[in-house]
Each structure stands twice: as C-alpha cells, then as structure tokens.
Chain A
Amino acid sequence: MDRAKIKKELEKLAAEGLPAGQPQEEAPVVVQAEGEGEDKAKAKAKKEEDVPRKNGLIETDYAKRGAHLDVQINPDQVVKAAELLDSEGMTIDMVTGVDWIKEGQFEIIYDYSYTAGGPAFRVVVRARVDRNKPDIPTISHIYGGANWHERETWELLGINFVGHPQLEHFLLPEDADFFPLRKDFKP
C-alpha cells in the first residue's frame, strides 16, 4: 500500500469526473480542513455545507473524523476507484447510502481500510446519484464483500446497483415494497 500513490490517483480520478464546464482552477479541492486557522476553516466549512460538495479530495483530520482521505467522485467512477484501491491491497469495510432529500440526491459512501497490518489507513469514497434515477455500478465483482452491503443498501434505500448479481430482499421480508431508510418513508 502506497499512501501517496493512492492520494494522487484518487485526486486525478476526482478531477476527471468534474463536469466539463467547470473552471479548472477549482477542480481538485485539497483542503486542509481542520488546521490552525480554525475559525476560518469553520467559516469556510459553513459556507460549503449549504451547497452540495463538489467532487474532489479532502485530506481529513483523522482524530476528528476517523478517516484519512475523503474523496468524492462521479458515480461511474466508483468501479475505477475500487479497482485502484483493490490493487493497493485495501479492504472494503462497508457501503452506506445517505438520502439527501433536500438536494434530491442519494450519497453512496464506500469505506475502505487497510487491514493487512501496520497503522490503519482509511479512505472514504463518495458518489452522489440523482434521487429519481438512483443507478450506480456495482463493485461486487471486485470485492465479494461488497455484495451483501450493496444488497442491503438497495433494500433499505432503493439505490440500484447496476450489474449486481442478486438484488433480492435480504434483511426485510420478501414482500416488502418500501425503502425504510428513505427520508420520505412513512411507516
């Protein structure tokens, strides 16, 4: 595992995924989020919070967030990211879906970590899909462990993992026709 290489490659990936019209200077947002000028960072963070985050890589403070790298990429790039991290010997921890109903988006968070010994290294890969057409390619052919996690995310949030071998009901009963973790779910 090469931390610098992973960082560089992911940065590149995130930059590739930016919409064409966007000015290049803004592209790879490398923010040393929590540093000395905390107030400044806070103010900045506040500003950023209101709009959805742009694609890019953030080197997060491990002590505050629990992750080392945090990268947001386009949904069609998750397979590339998975292949990259797989070749570096990383493990998939979990796949999480978040329903950002106000923005009309689902966020899919992939947690990767390094479990082959040595100090821990955690990478968070995020991708956002449209809430009305929640399609994202599966990574279960790269990581067998992602299979169940994706299945669960589909079941609870309705995110469609394109190419997943078995998107069937898993935790919920077979006849469940609802997605309980969606924010507009009414029991």
Chain B
Amino acid sequence: MNELIRLLAYMLCIAAFLGLNLAYLGWVERKGAGHFQRRTGPKEVGPYGLLQPLADGLKLMSKQLVVPANADKLIYMAAPVLIMVPSVTLFVAIPFGENLVPREFNFGLIMMFAFASVAGLSILIGGWGSGNKYSLIAGTRAVSQNIAYEIPMLLTAINIVMISGSLDLNEIIRQQGSYIWNWNVFRLDKSILMPVSFLVFFICSVAETNRTPFDMGECEGELVAGYHTEYGGMGFGLYMMAEYANLVIGASLITILFLGGWQSPIGILPGPHWFLLKMYFLIWVFVWIRWTFPRTTFWGLLNLSWKYLIPFAMVNLLLTALFIKVI
C-alpha cells in the first residue's frame, strides 16, 4: 500500500514536472532564439512573456482537429499520442537524486534505448498516415537517421556499461564520485578517449532528438514542416511537446552517463539540484546550437555517422576494453 502511494505521488510529480518543462522549454527556446538574433522574443503576454505558453496552449486546444481527406484516420490520430507515450514513460527511470527515483530498474539504460526507438516509429507512422508526400519523405528520413545514430550512441553507452559494470542508471551515477575528475567524461584512466566519447554521444543525442542541425524530419526549408505538415491544433501541440520531452530525456541521459548525475562537482551537497542544473545547461546548449547552425543534408548526416562517429566509438570501445583488462 505504501508503495502504491509512493508511485502515485511520483506520477503526479512527474506530470507536474513534465507539464512545466514542456510548456516553458518552448518559452526558453523562443526567448533564447530572440536574444541570439538581436530580438527580444515573446514579451507581450505576461511579464517577460511568461504567460506565452499558456496562450499558445489555449490557442492550440481551441483549434479544430482536421483530418486530411486522404489520410489514414486511425494512424493519423494515433501517431501524436504514440510519440508522447514513450517520452513520458521514460521519466519513470530517471534518477533525479540518489533516492529521488520513481522506480529503480536494474536495466534502466536498456529501457531508455528501447523506448527511445519507439519515437522514431511514431514519426514514421505520423508521416505515412498523413497522406502527404512531404510527410512521407520526412518520416523515412527520420527513421534512417534514427538507425544511423543509434549505432554510435549504443557503442558509447556500452563503454559506460563496461566501466561501471551495471545497467542501473543510479548505480552508474554512484560509481562516478563527486568532483569533476571522477565523472565519466574525464575518467581518462578508463580510456583516454572518454571526452571524445562524450562528444560522440552528445552529437548523437542532438540527432536523436531531431533538432537542428540534424532535423531531417522537420526540415522546414525543404519539406515544409516534415512529418507534422498535416497536423494542426493539439496534434501539432503533442508533437511539439514530445520534442521537448525528448530533449529533457536526452539531456538527462547525458547527465547520467557522463556528467555524474546528481553528484556534486565540488564535492559538497550532492542532490537533485546538481542534476537539474546540469540538465538545463545541456538543454541550453541544445538551444544555442539550434540557433547558430544551418542544417546538414541527409547525406552529410549519414556521412558524419558512418565516417566519423562510428569509427571513433569503436576505437574507444576497444581502448576501454584494453584499459579495463590491462590496468
């Protein structure tokens, strides 16, 4: 009974955390974009435009849901929901603090990757179900992108698993001590290529979350709006929210695997605040990157993955194995 109450409380907390994040990351992105571009960003609704997400939400919710004539209605309606489900589910496994984790799995990392690939599927069926050629192209692009980037991502993740010998996310964090040099990014004693490995993982996360410069699925210059071209109202809203949910998960995963999760960088007061700080910093970098770079081509994206990321990940894997065995 106690366990049930605990779970319910956690679910409420996750819902609140998620809701706030999804709403306000949009605001952060717009405000950030504005300032990066010598503009001010949202300003009119509320002080500093803080009520903008509310206004946006109201607008999206009040819009009529239109199903295009030659869309597959069931799939078309299901896709946005389907993309939200795995993103929300994954929050169950994220350890925000040492004891602040909804449900401890001893295979948390695998679960992360398993659910993350569902997102690619829902993008595909959303693109296919819309009955729009642009959406279809975007959907196929997104899937092949996901496949190309999951390989280096998993290869680097295996590194971490080899180092910590566990798939439990909390355990991975625990093994990285407090102080910066104990985090996986800088654990040169396990493999001298760890910082490179971090970079590879970071780039893959950008690609996995479908953000510029790797937003092949959206690609507004070429494919109008990509897989959500035909979506309006809350269908579009769900896609938008899923993007930010994925962003939060991506940033959390980097934090957990490389930046020591809730561990303190200076050795005092470990806790969820460090986790959130690191996560939001990473999110900020994501936003920063998005408003700085142009988009790669689909070709360049695969090139990057196969020519640069995968070889580096492989080399790093070998090195780690060598280091662990020898030292």
Within 8 Å by CB, do A and B touch in the complex?
Answer: no
